[in-house]
Amino acid sequence: MIGKASSFLLTKENFGREQGKIEEKLVQMGIEHAAVIRSSLLLEEICYRLFEHKSKEVKVGIHRRFGAVSLRLTSEGEAYNPLSEENSWTEEEVDYFRHIILTSNREWLGYSRRNGKNCLSIEVRKDKKKQVRNTLLGMALGLLVGSVLEEVLSPDLVSMIDTYALRSARTMFLNAMNMMLAPVVLFSIMAGICHTHGGFCEDGRQLCVPYPAKHHAGQAIRD
């Protein structure tokens, strides 16, 4: 379900206090500790850049949509994207490591310019049931559209649509699935064997060692 957003107004003077309130709110919402720390760190880096760019205040809202939770940041002023990549930094500069923090978590971040404001988003938690919900929604829409077409259009027109549009799309989809099936089965079996009967070398990489070889090696050591 869609939850009511909680809003916070961040400035340079009250940032630490408001950041703590945001963390407490995320914990109350059942967010994992690692996700809270990551989101708080990203919030700090983004706000620091906005403040450097002459933004006096940043409005932060916690939005909940079904299982997904995100932080929405808005700041007035000229267009500025704090997530833009800078290639001129060197490892000796402090901003270089701040840049690494943002780029390494780029998949959780978003930027847009709306109504004269810089709008950013930090995805705190992804919706784990999104794929299942979209699949069920697609099935329901397919049944609905098919029923409507069957009732509204003539049988000849429905047959033409099925022959020249739906059948071709269905054939391409099934062929694509067949192309993916063999590699998926192959790598799944390989991963299962490595996980079940494998060992680890000194640098942490997993080795595929058959069970008999491991058994004989263990026996030799005991002897």
- With helix as H, strand as E and coil as C, how does the chain read? CEEEEEEEEECCCCHHHHHHHHHHHHHHCCCCHHHHHHHHHHHHHHHHHHHHCCCCCEEEEEEEECCEEEEEEEEECCCCCCCCCCCCCCCCCHHHHHHHHHHHCHHHEEEEEECCEEEEEEEEECCCCHHHHHHHHHHHHHHHHHHHHHHHCCHHHHHHHHHHHHHHHHHHHHHHHHHHHHHHHHHHHHHHHHHHHCEECCCCCEECCCHHHHHHHHHHHHC
Residues 113-138 have a mean pLDDT of 87
pLDDT tens per residue, range 167-204: 888 888 888 888 888 888 888 888 888 766 544 444 44
Query: Tell me: the pLDDT tens digits for 17-48?
Result: 999 999 999 999 999 999 999 999 999 999 98
Q: Is the pLDDT of residue 2 over 60?
A: no
Query: Is the CB of residue 138 less than 8 Å from the CB of residue 68?
Result: no
For residue 62, list its beta bridge partners. 6, 71
More confident residue, 169 or 16: 16
CA distance 51 to 57: 7
| pLDDT number for residue 44 | 92
**Average pLDDT rounded to a whole number, residues 142-153:** 84
The model's confidence at residue 9, banded by pLDDT at 50, 70 and 90, is very high
Q: Hey, what amino acid is at 159?
A: S
Please report the pLDDT score of residue 26 as a whole number.
93
Supply the pLDDT for residue 77: 84
* Dist. CA 42–CA 209, nearest whole Å: 42
Question: Quick one: pLDDT at residue 202?
Answer: 43
Q: What pTM, to 2 d.p., does this model score?
A: 0.61
Mean pLDDT over the full length of the chain: 80
Domain with residues 2-125, CATH architecture: 2-Layer Sandwich (3.30)
Name the residue type at position 115.
N
**Is the distance from CB of 136 to CB of 79 less than 8 angstroms?**
no
Q: What is the pLDDT of residues 59-88, one digit of tens each?
A: 999 998 888 899 999 999 888 888 875 555
Q: Which residue has the higher pLDDT, 140 or 146?
A: 140
The burial of 46, by beta-carbon neighbours within 10 Å (0-12 exposed, 13-18 middle, 19 or more buried), is given as buried
User: What are the start and end residues of each CATH 3.30.565.10 domain in the chain?
Assistant: 2-125
Amino acid at 112: S
